[in-house]
């Protein structure tokens, strides 16, 4: 896989309609995706003192932390509402090569900031609710 421009990574939020339409919230300046797979200890006395793990035994979690610039005020309003209303929304993380990770997420942290002589930016942490789907790009 060739290198991809981070500036082309987009976060989109769904409108809840059927079929669902996704609108870009903004472009990422930095993004971090963390998958955690806690272990599930299945050790018994018969294991001779060695830890044994159960495959797929733990609860997988996925968090995306993204910092970037809003596309416009409507995009900011949709993310702001999701954070304040504590709703689950469908999101798409769109990668520069056309790959898409889509899932239902809750906004678990949201911050807006801006310096006097710079653009306003945002930071959001999304925590996945349920399973997600990855569509490979080219």
Q: Which pLDDT value is given to residue 4?
A: 63
- How crowded is residue 7: how many other Cβ atoms within 10 Å of its Cβ? 12
Q: How far apart are CA 20 and CA 70, in angstroms?
A: 21
Q: Write out the two tokens for 92.
A: 């798409």
pLDDT digits (tens, 9 = 90+) for 117-135: 988 889 999 999 999 999 9
Q: Which pLDDT value is given to residue 105?
A: 96
pLDDT digits (tens, 9 = 90+) for 75-86: 888 889 999 999
DSSP state, residue 41: B
| Cβ atoms of 53 and 42 closer than 8 Å | yes
**Which of 3.40.50.300, 4.10.410.40, 2.60.40.10, 1.10.10.60 is the CATH number of 6-135?**
4.10.410.40
Q: Answer yes or no: is pLDDT of 63 > 80.
A: yes
Report how far apart, in Å, the C-alpha atoms of 32 and of each of 35, 127, 134, 137 are. 10, 12, 16, 19
High-pLDDT (> 70) share of the chain, %: 95
pTM: 0.81
Domain regions of the chain by residue span: 6-135
| Cβ atoms of 92 and 47 closer than 8 Å | no
Q: Which pLDDT value is given to residue 31?
A: 85
Average pLDDT, the chain: 89
Q: Answer yes or no: is pLDDT of 73 > 90.
A: no
Give the closest residue to 113 by CA, choosing from 126, 123, 105: 123
Q: Look at strands 121-128 and 10-14 and give their pairing.
A: unpaired
Average pLDDT over residues 19-46: 89
Greater model confidence, 109 or 72: 109
Q: How far apart are CA 129 and CA 53, in angstroms?
A: 25
Q: Which pLDDT value is given to residue 72?
A: 81
């Amino acid at each position: 896989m060739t290198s991809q421009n981070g500036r082309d990574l987009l976060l989109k939020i769904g409108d809840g309609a059927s079929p669902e339409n996704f609108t870009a919230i903004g472009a990422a300046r930095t993004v971090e995706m963390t998958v955690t797979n806690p272990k599930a200890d299945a050790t018994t006395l018969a294991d001779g003192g060695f830890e044994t793990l159960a495959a797929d035994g733990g609860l997988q979690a996925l968090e995306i932390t993204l910092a970037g610039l809003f596309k416009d005020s409507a995009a900011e309003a949709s993310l702001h509402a999701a954070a304040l209303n504590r709703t689950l929304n469908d999101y798409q993380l769109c990668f520069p090569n056309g790959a898409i990770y889509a899932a239902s997420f809750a906004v678990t942290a949201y911050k807006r900031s801006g310096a006097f002589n710079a653009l306003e930016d945002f930071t959001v942490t999304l925590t996945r609710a349920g399973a997600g789907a990855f569509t490979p790009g080219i």
